[in-house]
Structure 1
Amino acid sequence: MTQHNGGPRWGVVGTGGIAHAFVEGLRAVPSARVTAVSSRTRIRAEEFGEAWGIPNRHGSYEELAADPEVDVVYVATPHPWHHPNTLLMLNAGKHVLVEKPMAMNALQVSEMVAAARANDRFLMEAMWTRCLPASRLVRELVAEGALGELRTVSAEFGINVPYDPDHRLFNVDLGGGAQLDLGVYPLALASQYLGELTVVGATRQLSPDRMVDTHTVVLARGENGASATLSCASRTALPNRAVLAGTAGWLEIPRFWAATDVVLHRDGHDPERFHRPFRANGYEYEAEEVGRCLAAGERESPDMPWAESLRLAGVMDQVRDVGGLVYSPTTVKAVPLG
C-alpha cells in the first residue's frame, strides 16, 4: 500500500469502520498509496497503521495536516467533525475527500466550498454510490431514453439497530439520526435525476429521548414536476431498493446505495437484468475518481460537484425544518476537535 507508484499520497483522518472499508477499497487501485493516518489518540493511529501497513501515524489531526508526505486526505470522522476537519486540511494545502453527509447543514458546506476555492484545492463529498459501475449504467440508460420521460423516483434505506443512546445513529453529539446517516442516499439519488428538489412534506419518528429521528419519510417535487418519495429508518428494516419510473418503463435497483444489479422493465418487453460487480468493496471507484480529477487538475468532480453537495445539504435542511428537528450550532460546536 505504501510503495512509490506515482499516484497521490493519501492520508486518512479517523480510524472507524468506514476508514477501514475505504483503505480496503484502495488496495484495488494500483496508483493508490496511503502514507499517513491520524486519530485523536496515537494508540488508535498506531493500531490502524499497523493493520494496513501505513508508515506515518499521527496522534492528532493537526499533525497529519502538517505532514509533507500527504497530498489528499480522506475525512472519515463523525458528521460534526467533517466541517472543522475539512477546513483544517484545506487550509493546510491538502486536497479532501470527505465522508457523507458533507457537513451538518448547508452553511457549513458553503464554508467548506469557499475554503476549497480560496486554497485552490480539490474537494468532494464521498458519495461513493455515484462512482459505482452499476450507477453509471443507470445514468446511461436514463440518458438514452430507456424510461422515456422520468416521472417519479422512490427510494428507501432502512436498518433495524437496537436503540442505544451512545450509538452514533442515536447520539445527537455524534450527528446521529436516520436522515443524516441513511437518508442522504435516497435524497442524493432523487437530486441526481430530478434536479432541484422542493420538499412538499415530511414525517418523522423520533428516538426515545426525542433528540434524533429514527424514521423519516419525504415527499419532494423535482424541477420538471416529477415526484420523489424517499424514506430512511434506523430502527426498522425496509425493502431497501430504488425505483426510477418513466413514460416508457421503470428501473429497479436493489440496495441502490451499494448497487451491483439493475433490472430494466421496458413496456412490452421482458425484464433485462444487468450485473456490475465490484473489483473490491466499491470504495475503489470513488478513490479512482479523485485520482483522475487530481491528475487532470480538476478541483471538483462531475460525479459530485460542489453545487450538488450544496443543493443536497439545503434539501436536508428543508427536511429538518419541516419536521421541526434542529441540530443547534451549540451542539455542533461542542464536539471536541483534538
Structure 2
Amino acid sequence: MSTTLHWGIIGPGRIAHKFADALAYCDHNQLVAVASRSQQNADAFASRWQLAHAYDDEAALLANPQVQAVYIATPHNYHYPAAMRALKAGKHVLIEKPACVNAAQFARLCELAEQHDCMLMEAVWSRFLPYVAQAKQWLADKRIGEVQSIQSSIGIAFEHGPEHRINNKALAGGAMLDLGVYALSLSQFMLGQSHTAIQALGKLSADGVDESVMATVQYSGGQLAQFATSIVSQQQNALHVYGSEGTITLEPRFWSGSQVSLQRGDDIQTLTLPWAHNGFEYQIEDMARCILVGKRQSDVVPHRDTLAVLTQMDEVRRQIGLYYGDEFEKV
C-alpha cells in the first residue's frame, strides 16, 4: 500500500471534527471523504476540512477506491451495521467506542475483518495517552508492588434534553456505553486479565436508559475493579490503582487527562504529560503503523480486550435490566 493512508469518516458530528483535526496533524495520513445522512452536513464538514468527496450515503463513500480506512463516528447503535458494511467493502475500520452495542456484534466484526483481511480497532483513545502509558510502565516496574484493586468514577451531570442521544434509548444512550466503557477498558488495560465475576446495580430513567450504575468486577488473578458511572451526577472522575506498596492515580478526568501520580507512603511523585496535539493522534498513528506492516490488530487495543469489555457491559446491563431491543442488539 501507499505510505499515506487515505481515510473516510462516517458520521460528521462533534467527535468527527476532533478526529479530523488530529488526522491533519499526523504525517502519512490524509482525510479524503465524509458521509452523512444529510448532504448539507456532509458538505459543511467537507468545506471545513477541505475534502474532495462529500456523500449523503455511506455506500458511495465505501465505493470510493481512494478510501482505504474508515472512522465510524455515528451514535452507538449504528456502529455495528456501518462497520459491517465497511469491512465487507474491504476497508480498514476504526470504530468509536463502544465498538458495538454488545459482544456478539463485535465478534462478528472480527470474523469479517479476518475474512476480508482488514484492520479493525475500537477507538479507545485513552489507552494511547502518555500519562496512561506512564501508569502502565510503573505497574510493569512493580512500583506499587502487586496490584490489589482499582477504583474509578466517571460521572457528568449532562444538561441535555430527552431528545439528546445520551438520553435516547433508540440511540443506545445511557451511562454505561458512553462513560462506563472508559472505566472498564482502562481497568482491563491495567490488569490484562479476564474477568470471573461481576456484581452491578443501576438506576434507569423514565425513558429506559441507565442514569447511574455502580459495579464491581473480579478478575482471574483475584483483583477487584469497582466503578461508578452516571449521566446525572458530577463525580470525582479519577481512577486509582491500589497495590501492596502504593497507589497510582489518574486525575482529573482520568480518560482524557495528562496527570498521573505515584504514591508510596508519604512520598508522592506527580507527572504532567501533555498530548502532542489533541490526543486522538496516537490511535491514528498506531492504526496506520499496523496497516503499513500488515498487522490487523493493535497491541494497545486488541480484539480480545474489546470483546472482554463488551462482555462485561453485557453482564452489567443484564443485571440492571437494560436491553436496547432486538433491532439494535441483533447480530
Q: Same fold (TM over 0.5)?
A: yes
**TM-score, length of structure 2 as denominator length:** 0.96
Q: Is residue 264 of structure 1 aligned with residue 275 of structure 2? A: no
SS in 2 for 1:136: helix
Is residue 246–residue 264 contact of structure 2 (8 Å, CA) maintained in 1? Answer: yes
Q: Which residue number in structure 2 is paired with residue 186 of structure 1?
A: 183
More divergent stretch after superposition (148-157 vs 200-209): 200-209
Is residue 242–residue 253 contact of structure 1 (8 Å, CA) maintained in 2? Answer: yes
Q: Which residue number in structure 1 is paired with residue 195 of structure 2?
A: 197
CA–CA separation in structure 1 for the residues paired with 2:304 and 2:174: 24
Moved over 3 A (4+): none
Shift of 1:85: 0.4
CA–CA separation in structure 2 for the residues paired with 1:175 and 1:309: 18
User: 2:131 aligned to 117, 131, 134, which one?
Assistant: 134
> Which runs of 5 or more residues in structure 1 are unaligned?
334-338
User: 1:115 aligned to 93, 112, 118, which one?
Assistant: 112
Q: Which residue number in structure 1 is paired with residue 234 of structure 2?
A: 237
C-alpha deviations, 1:281-329, integer Å up to 9, x for none?
1001110111111111100001011111111111100101111211221
Correspondence list, 1:1-338, <5 A: 6-162=3-159, 164-194=161-191, 195-209=193-207, 211-254=208-251, 255-267=253-265, 269-331=266-328
CA–CA separation in structure 2 for the residues paired with 1:162 and 1:96: 32
Is residue 148–residue 243 contact of structure 2 (8 Å, CA) maintained in 1? Answer: yes
The residue type equivalent to 2:258 in the other structure is T
CA–CA separation in structure 2 for the residues paired with 1:117 and 1:151: 36
CA–CA separation in structure 2 for the residues paired with 1:297 and 1:44: 34
**TM-score, length of structure 1 as denominator length:** 0.94
C-alpha deviations, 1:165-212, integer Å up to 9, x for none?
211111011110100100000011121223212343111111132x11
CA RMSD of aligned residues (A): 1.3
CA–CA separation in structure 1 for the residues paired with 2:322 and 2:141: 40
Is residue 173–residue 332 contact of structure 1 (8 Å, CA) maintained in 2? Answer: no
Is residue 96–residue 122 contact of structure 2 (8 Å, CA) maintained in 1? Answer: yes
SS in 2 for 1:240: coil
CA–CA separation in structure 2 for the residues paired with 1:277 and 1:80: 33
Shift of 1:231: 1.1
Shift of 1:331: 4.7
> Which runs of 5 or more residues in structure 2 are unaligned?
none
CA–CA separation in structure 2 for the residues paired with 1:36 and 1:279: 25
Evaluate the alpha carbon distance shift between residue 76 and residue 130 of structure 1 in structure 2; reply closer, same or farther with a 3 A threshold: same
SS in 2 for 1:310: helix
Q: State percent identity of aligned pairs.
A: 35
SS in 1 for 2:59: helix
CA–CA separation in structure 2 for the residues paired with 1:253 and 1:152: 14
CA–CA separation in structure 1 for the residues paired with 2:130 and 2:76: 27
Query: Size of the alignment, in residue pairs?
Result: 327
